[in-house]
Amino acid sequence: MTGETDLKTLLASMTPELLDGIHVFARLAPGVSQPEGLEPVMVFREHEGTTLIVTEDAAEAAGLSASFRCRMITLNVHSSLEAVGFLAAITARLAAAGMGVNPVSAFYHDHLFVPAERAEEAMVLLRGLAAENGQVK
């Protein structure tokens, strides 16, 4: 199964789910290994170092410096990695409200990391966007 590509269907079908806990973005310098036992939601390697998205508690326990206290919202619709405009529509809606977002696409779903103190507001905006596109119940 390759996932949905139709933008209107994606927007109408997304069911945003606010996950428990506070996440942060932590960085490891090049050549530094990930602390043993740490279970990041995401690991991304760049030339300058490795980015980890982990819970705030896990980052503190591992002694990692971190930034961007955020909450994770999963968009529960199987979006294709080739879908056009889905995240653009979502990030534009959040940007119009003055909210930064760090989106991450995985094979089945897209995930949004939004400022922790604005997570409930993001959920209202996302539900509104789904409803405007004929939300599937």
Give every CB contact of residue 126 below 8 A, 6+ residues apart in sequence. 14, 16, 73, 75, 90, 93
Reported as a pLDDT band with limits 50, 70 and 90, residue 24 is very high
Q: Tokens 């806990």, residue?
A: 21
pLDDT value at residue 136: 59
Give just the sign of the alpha carbon dihedral 79, 80, 85, 87.
Answer: positive
Structural domains of the chain, ranges and CATH numbers in brackets? 5-132 (3.30.2130.10)
pLDDT value at residue 83: 87
- Is this structure's pTM higher than 0.75? yes
